[in-house]
Amino acid sequence: MKKKELLKGLWSQHPIYRQLLGMCPTLAVTTTAINGIAMGLAVIFVLFFSEFVVASIKRIVPHQVRIAVYTVIIATFVTIVDIFLKAQFPQISKNLGPYVPLIIVNCIILGRCEAFASKNKLSNSLLDALGMGVGFCWGLFVLGSIRELLGAGEILGQRLLPLNFDPLVVMILPAGAFLVLGFLVALMNQVERWKI
Amino acid sequence: MENLILIFISTILINNVVLTYFLGICPFLGVSGKMESALGMGMAVTFVMTLATSISWLIYYLVLERFGLTFLEYVVFILIIASLVQIVEMFIKKYSKNLYQSLGIYLPLITSNCAILGVALFMIVKEYSFLESVVFGFSGGLGFSLVLMVMAGIREELDFADIPETFKGAPLTLITAGILALIFMGFSGLGGG
């Protein structure tokens, strides 16, 4: 077990801000912080179990059909998450809509299965999944918080800005998602440049 | 008929797959650097998306729903798309060398393109009829191609601009996409929402 496998997903190889993976859910569901967290948790679950299965069966899957096999494994876990959310948290399931099934084609999951779990030990794969999943989750939370704060003056439903603040509705609309993410990625670049 | 035209226009301009539903962002960021590759990718996506929505619709309503297997929706759809891409690739490789050379490298990328699966899922959510779904798939692909090409045009010009080091690459592309999304919001009056 290596600590660096866990930590790399949190900052140095952050899935959203560094590798620009999994853009659809990142942009689509982060209208509020709570939606961001819900999507993040769903991705952690799917990523963890997919990497677990892929790392366990890597020796018996023929090379030519591996992508198809991985996709079916991922789709199975996504179906579990979807049914669970529908039964237990109908409101969140409604907010996220078709973006829950779209986790299947989220490039983070297939990407980590192919690039990491299919080549590494089971224990390291699980750490990698946790690190990447938690990294993805905080990335969504930050993006969702900024958009919710500027677009509605709240974070997690808590009023933070004074009531006479005029919400920038555009932040909740699609255009705001692109703009905020663009500036966040630029900020990350700048932080890296200061380090040098 | 009126209904179909409304779906056609609104899917391209108002509810654009890239700018409103955020589908297919990865190729949008990756392939939109050059006009030529944007055109190739757009054509390949339009082609596969039209086929994928038609076949998914038939299988969903004629097989899955009839036998109460709708929980298999996601697994079935992703398999349809993956095998469709494979078949299309083999088919054009055999029958059209020219088409294969221009589309060939984009086809494998399409399986993991969320736009295709996304459009198939939205078609079920919106409860479209078969004909509506075909139009929806086709215009979804056209909308994707349109935005990809507009973006490629802008990025080719941006290559000559003097940009702060921090914003080079992805941040600038994302901000440009944001401004493009703002512009496309202007179309929302067209179809009455």
pLDDT tens for A11-38 read 888 988 888 888 888 888 898 999 999 9
Q: What angle do CA B38, B42, B48 make, to 5 degrees?
A: 150
Q: pLDDT-based confidence at A1, cuts 50/70/90?
A: low
Residue B83: closest CA among chain A residues belongs to which residue? A68
Asked whether the ipTM of the predicted complex exceeds the cut of 0.90, the reply is: no
Q: Which residues pair with A159 in a beta bridge?
A: A154
Nearest-neighbour CA in chain B from A98: distance (Å):
7
A178 vs B178: CB contact, 8 Å cut-off? Answer: yes
Residue in B18, B20, B23 to test binding to A, most A beta-carbons within 10 Å: B23
Residue in A170, A185, A196 to test binding to B, most B beta-carbons within 10 Å: A185
Instruction: Return mean pLDDT, chain A.
Output: 90
Q: How far is CA B193 from the centre of its chain?
A: 21
A178 vs B78: CB contact, 8 Å cut-off? Answer: no
A185 vs B174: CB contact, 8 Å cut-off? Answer: yes
**Average of per-residue pLDDT across B58-62:** 94
pLDDT, one tens digit per residue, over B121-154 is 999 999 999 999 999 999 999 999 999 999 999 9
B14 CB neighbours in chain A (<8 A) are: none
Q: Which of B57, B76, B75 is nearest to B123 (CA)?
A: B57
Q: What is the DSSP string of A7-38?
A: HTTTTTT-TTTTT---HHHHHHSTTSHHHHHH
Q: Which residues pair with A158 in a beta bridge?
A: A155
**Average of per-residue pLDDT across A176-193:** 92
* Nearest-angstrom CA–CA distance, B49 and B62: 20
Total CB pairs under 8 A between chain A and B: 116
Instruction: Return mean pLDDT, chain B.
Output: 86
pLDDT, one tens digit per residue, over A89-120 is 999 999 898 899 988 888 889 888 888 998 89
pLDDT of A77 strictly over 70: yes
Residue B161 DSSP class: S
Where residue A129 falls (left for φ over 0; alpha for ψ -120 to 50; beta otherwise) is: alpha
A27 CB neighbours in chain B (<8 A) are: 22, 25
Q: What percent of chain A has pLDDT over 90?
A: 48
Residue A101: closest CA among chain B residues belongs to which residue? B74
Cβ within 8 Å of A, B 88-147: 111-114, 117-118, 121-122, 125
Q: What confidence score (pLDDT) does residue B112 get?
A: 67
**Average of per-residue pLDDT across A149-156:** 88
Tell me whether residue A59 is exposed, middle or buried, using C-beta atoms within 10 angstroms of its C-beta: 0 to 12, 13 to 18, 19 or more.
exposed
pLDDT of B192 strictly over 70: no
CA distances from A106 to A143, A169, A176, B33, B113 (A): 18, 28, 21, 22, 9
DSSP-based three-state secondary structure for A159: strand
Nearest-neighbour CA in chain B from A189: distance (Å):
6
- CB-CB: which of B74, B170, B177 is closest to A79? B74
Question: What tokens were used for B110?
Answer: 């399409």
Q: What confidence score (pLDDT) does residue B193 get?
A: 42
Nearest-neighbour CA in chain B from A160: distance (Å):
26
Nearest-neighbour CA in chain B from A59: distance (Å):
23
pLDDT of B108 strictly over 80: no
